[in-house]
Amino acid sequence: MADFTFAHREEGFDEHIEQSIRGYSNLLDDVIGLSRYFVEDDTTIVDIGCSTGKLTKAMIEYNQDHCTNATWIGVEIADGFVDDLEKRQKEITNSSGSFAEVDFIMDDIRDYNFCDCSLVTSIFTLQFMPKKDRKEVIRNIYNGLHEGGAFIFSEKTLCESALVQDMITFNYYDYKRKTFTTDDIMDKERTLRNMMKPNTWEEITYMLYQAGFSNIQPFWRNHAFVGAIAIK
**Residue 105 within a domain:** yes
Give the whole-angstrom CA distance, residue 105 versus residue 112. 10
pLDDT reported for residue 11: 57
pLDDT reported for residue 148: 97
Q: Residue 43 maps to which CATH number?
A: 3.40.50.150
**Residue 33 within a domain:** yes
pLDDT reported for residue 113: 95
Q: What are the DSSP calls for 154-190, one per residue?
A: EEEEE-S-HHHHHHHHHHHHHHHTTTS-HHHHHHHHH
Structurally, the chain folds into a number of domains equal to: 1
**Residue 18 within a domain:** yes
pLDDT reported for residue 95: 73
**Residue 177 within a domain:** no
pLDDT reported for residue 161: 85
pLDDT means over runs of 10, the chain (232 residues): 42 80 94 97 96 93 90 90 85 68 91 96 94 96 98 94 86 83 81 84 97 96 95 98
Half-sphere exposure of 41 (CA within 13 A, CB side): 7
**Residue 3 within a domain:** no
**Residue 167 within a domain:** no
Give the whole-angstrom CA distance, residue 74 versus residue 106. 9
For residue 64, the enclosing domain spans 13-157+198-231
**Residue 190 within a domain:** no
**Residue 129 within a domain:** yes
